[in-house]
Amino acid sequence: MKTETLNKLVQFRHNLHREPELGFEERDTSRKVGAYLDSLGVEYVSGIGKTGIVAWIIGTVGDSDASVGLRADMDALPIEEKSGVEHISTRTGRMHACGHDGHTSILLGVVDYLKENNDFAGTVYFVFQPAEEGVGGAKAMIEDGIFERFDMREIYALHNWPSLPIGQYGLIAGPIMAGGDRVDITIHGRGGHGGLNPHGCIDPIRIAAELVHKAHTIIAREVDPLNPAVLSICALQSGDLAGFAVIPDTATLSGTIRALDEATREVVRSGLRRLCQSLEQYYGAEIELVIEDKFGVTDNDPGATESARQIIADCFGEEALAVNHKPCMGGEDFSYMLAERPGAYIHVGSGDAEHSRGLHHPEYDFNDRIMPDGIRLLTELARKSLEKQLQ
């Protein structure tokens, strides 16, 4: 890729980083992506899944119904940035702490390259997805008919991965990211005086303490130890620290369930439901439990994964494939797209001395050094997918 084009993409990324937007609020981001596509003369449709965009380039080598999709996410996170970089976020409590600004810029780089090098047969679709961070962007695009309107036979995505060094690529067939739920629990008890009549109360804090303790034993005693799973209660709110002698009426808790297969995920859900029901009955409280499906298991298609592994080896050498790469218990709503079409999700090493902070850390910044290889990888994935479909 030309140095001039790469510099333009880096500046574009820095501009996105300065003005981050949360899920389904990416109106400025979508306009910027649209303006870049307009400058290239590339066709696209906006407003898919509220703020998403799908662009496409049709190859010039004959007529072919071969097609492939490449996806990048666009949204930021509700985090106050502390990175200290020159292009630091200008929006209070908002930052690109997961590198979606980089993913979007990489995908625009692929568009830029293939617009000038369209000597292929078939169609490459470019999916700029909103609201990946647990807000349902992939689902929204699917519900808007993305795969009916744009016939992608395969689909691929990458994600920068600071725990892998630059030059390493993490890729496995089957589950690579966990399925995940949001858990919300409200305990309705009966408040009162903590010194005068605690015996006349139904103490929600007491119930919450027992619930947290017992919930964290579900994995150890109800889940097959060979099936990875997580249940974490991450927040608890009740009462007022100034009211040291006041037993409150309610306690609220939130947390998450993660697993690498749906059967295990349901075991954990079932265990939590039974726990809440038993505590409700024993203490005479009312316990509301809401389990919200946030994302499915990101399940890489074996054939697409093998193709991607070969492309990585051909482009960067066999040594670029991370040895014994493990699935991650984080979540990714690209899972819903992979449930609709075969494809693969790839972890791209981005760690170096200047970029050691992990994803979602307030001091994180995307590593621009991976941009050229990210563009090359997605470009080759698209080309080889089309070639494979013609065989």
- pLDDT(219) > 80: yes
pLDDT tens string 83-110: 999 999 999 999 999 999 999 999 999 9
Based on the domain organization, do 87 and 148 belong to the same domain? yes
Residue 1 has pLDDT above 80, yes or no: no
| Token couple for 371 | 């941009």
Could you tell me if residue 41 is left (phi over 0), alpha (psi between -120 and 50 degrees) or otherwise beta?
left
Q: Do 52 and 129 fall into the same domain?
A: yes
- Whether residues 169 and 183 share a domain: the answer is no
Distances 5 to 1, 105, 134, 195, 375 between C-alpha atoms, Å: 7, 11, 33, 71, 12
Give yes or no: residues 260 and 248 share one domain: yes
Task: Give 322's DSSP letter.
Answer: P
Range of the domain at 319: 3-177+297-390
pLDDT grade for 268, boundaries at 50, 70 and 90: very high
Residues 49 and 78 in one domain: yes
CB of 63 closer than 8 Å to CB of 107: no
Q: Which of 244, 266, 295 is the last residue of a domain?
A: 295
- For β-strands 250-259 and 43-48, DSSP reports them as unpaired
DSSP 99: S
> Do 209 and 185 belong to one domain?
yes
Tokens of 268: 């954990």
Read off the pLDDT band of 170 (50, 70, 90): very high
- Alpha-carbon Rg for the chain, nearest whole angstrom, is 24
Please indicate, yes or no, whether residues 245 and 354 belong to a single structural domain of this protein: no
Longest C-alpha distance within the chain, in Å?
Answer: 85
Question: For residue 168, what are the contacts with CB-CB under 8 A and spacing of at least 6?
Answer: 320, 321, 322, 349
As for how many domains the chain has, the answer is 2
Q: Are residues 267 and 364 in the same domain?
A: no
Q: How far apart are CA 126 and CA 102, in angstroms?
A: 15
Residues 270 and 324 both lie in one domain: no
Q: Quick check: 391 pLDDT over 90? A: no
CATH assignment at residue 215: 3.30.70.360
Residues 291 and 331 in one domain: no
Is the pLDDT at 62 greater than 90, yes or no? no
Query: The whole model's pTM is what?
Result: 0.95
Helix, coil or strand: residue 57: strand
